[in-house]
Amino acid sequence: MIDYPPVLTKADFVRRFQLNEFGNRGMVWNTVDDYLADIENNQKGLYHLRNRVAGGPTHYNQTYEDVVYFEHDNRSKIKQWYVAAMAPHHRNLIQGEVALLPEITLRYSSVPDVPMREALAIGEKHVTGIIANSLLRYYLCPNSYEWLQILLERYSGHVVEFSSVSCNWGTLPHYNTVFWEVRLY
């Protein structure tokens, strides 16, 4: 059996996230420079500038041009950022944070058209136990639900951030849920 160490820092999370340890995710580039160099894939939609600092700012709905300007204006701090493709939030079903503490606890929103942080700020709800589990079973496709259960088992006490949409999306086929973060920090 593989021993999965706890995720205690944002830097450790980002490294492991980019190695696909946590399952389905959107396309991601390790650095802004990697993103800008990927001519084949970097001009196909909207992007998310993600911070390697826990609780740090994030920039949603960025175009290729926005990322170019950002890189130019933030050169001295550019190493703390990485780039991810934006999820199809116009197809949001449910998104939020779930943990097993010791019963399942879900902080979520079903607000359409916005990323998770914004959705939670607009319409955050909390449920636990069988209600939380029932909501997750209803909105997550079977593959996504099964993988969430594995994450909760492997990373006991961790918070798992996720977004579920009404279509398959992400790096793995037949998943409607991406796992944005797994953390114990």
Q: Which of 44-53, 84-93, 95-104 has the lowest mean pLDDT?
A: 44-53
Quick: pLDDT tens for 37-84: 998 887 788 999 999 988 889 999 999 999 999 988 888 888 899 999
The answer, yes or no, to whether residue 1 has pLDDT greater than 70, is no
What confidence score (pLDDT) does residue 87 get?
95
| Domain chopping of the chain, boundaries | 10-20+88-183, 28-85
Residue among 132, 119, 158 at smallest CA distance from 21:
158
pTM: 0.92
- Mean pLDDT (whole number) for 106-115: 97
Quick: pLDDT tens for 23-50: 999 999 999 999 999 988 877 889 999 9
